[in-house]
Amino acid sequence: MAMQRSFLLAAAVGSAGALNAHALLKPVSVLRATNGERVSLTEQWNADERAVMVLMRSFG
Amino acid sequence: MFCQELAAQLARDVLPRLDDAGHKLLAVGIGTDERAREFCGHVGFPEANLYADPENAAYDALGLKKGWQTTFMTIDTPLSILKRAQSDGAKDLLDATSRWKPWLPPKSDQGLQQGGAFVFEGEQLLFQHYDPSTGAHADLDVLLQAALAGEVAQAR
């Protein structure tokens, strides 16, 4: 039940903040762990792709 | 310690499901790319899915929680530990604790930064979770449900 509520809440968030979160991340660049190359975060997935992004506190 | 637990769970429980569905997993951590590579080797997380954010730019852009109160003074951290204990005896956290190596982020205030989890389809946001305090991560089952919902709907 709690899981269902969370998911419905998440679905609601999707319509309200849809473009906003992606737009906020657009100027952000990060470093690939593989080679240290600086890349745009939002360019790591395409318009027709689904991406799960998890931000951890640190590498500790 | 909580981050190492989360990374191990993502690699074991989330990444294979996303790979099967053709979706991407991007994990981001505060620190240098050198430290990110060390982290991958230590935790067993694939380097191809990890990005380093030494300036915490993504965290600032999204307005993720930060500060003394959210790091030390909320009930959410002990509640999240209790939830772990009730579900599986906090096995993954204990595993992470046993191999934990302390590490300080580049700037002292970054130790007060909380994380979060998001699911995007192109530019559209499907799911968001702002960690309310240290260790109070998104429920990974719910995160996966949000990421895989399209496949479930198509299968019916």
Q: Which percentage of chain B shows pLDDT scores above 70? A: 85
> Rounded to two decimals, what is the model's pTM?
0.78
Residue of B nearest to A10 (CA): B127
Q: Out of A28, A46, A49, name the one closest to residue B58 (CB).
A: A28
Distance between B127 CA and the closest CA of chain A, angstroms: 5
Would you give per-residue pLDDT tens digits along chain A (60 residues)? Answer: 444 444 434 443 444 444 589 999 999 999 999 999 999 999 999 999 999 999 998 887
pLDDT at B154 over 70: no
Whole-number pLDDT of residue A1: 41
Is the ipTM higher than 0.95? The answer is no
Q: Tell me what pLDDT residue B121 has.
A: 95
Least confident of A28-32, B3-7, B117-121, B140-144: B3-7
- Res. B123 pLDDT band, cuts 50 70 90: very high
Nearest to B134 by CA among A54, A10, A56: A56
B51/A33 Cβ within 8 A: yes
Query: Residue B19, SS3?
Result: helix
The distance from CA B82 to its chain's CA centroid, rounded to whole angstroms, is 18
CB neighbour burial string for B72-98, b if at least 16 within 10 angstroms, e if fewer: eeeeebeebeeebeeeeebebbeebee
Going from the C-alpha of B86 to that of each of B79, B81, B90, B136, the distances in angstroms are: 10, 9, 8, 15
Query: How far A1 CA lies from chain B's nearest CA (Å)?
Result: 12
Spell out the SS3 assignment of B71-129.
HHCCCHHHHHHHHHHHHHCCHHHHHHHHCCCCCCCCCHHHHHECCEEEEEECCEEEEEE
Q: Do B64 and A46 touch (CB under 8 A)?
A: no
pLDDT at A36: 97
Q: Write down the pLDDT at residue B155.
A: 39
Please determine, for residue B97, whether its predicted confidence score (pLDDT) is greater than 80. no
Contacts of B6 in chain A (CB under 8 A): 54, 56
Q: pLDDT of B20-79, one tens digit each?
A: 999 999 999 999 999 999 999 999 999 999 999 999 999 999 999 887 676 666 767 767
8 Å CB contact of A56 and B146: no
Nearest-angstrom CA–CA distance, B30 and B87 = 29
What is the pLDDT confidence band of residue B150, given thresholds at 50, 70 and 90?
low
Report how many Cβ contacts below 8 Å link chain A to chain B: 215
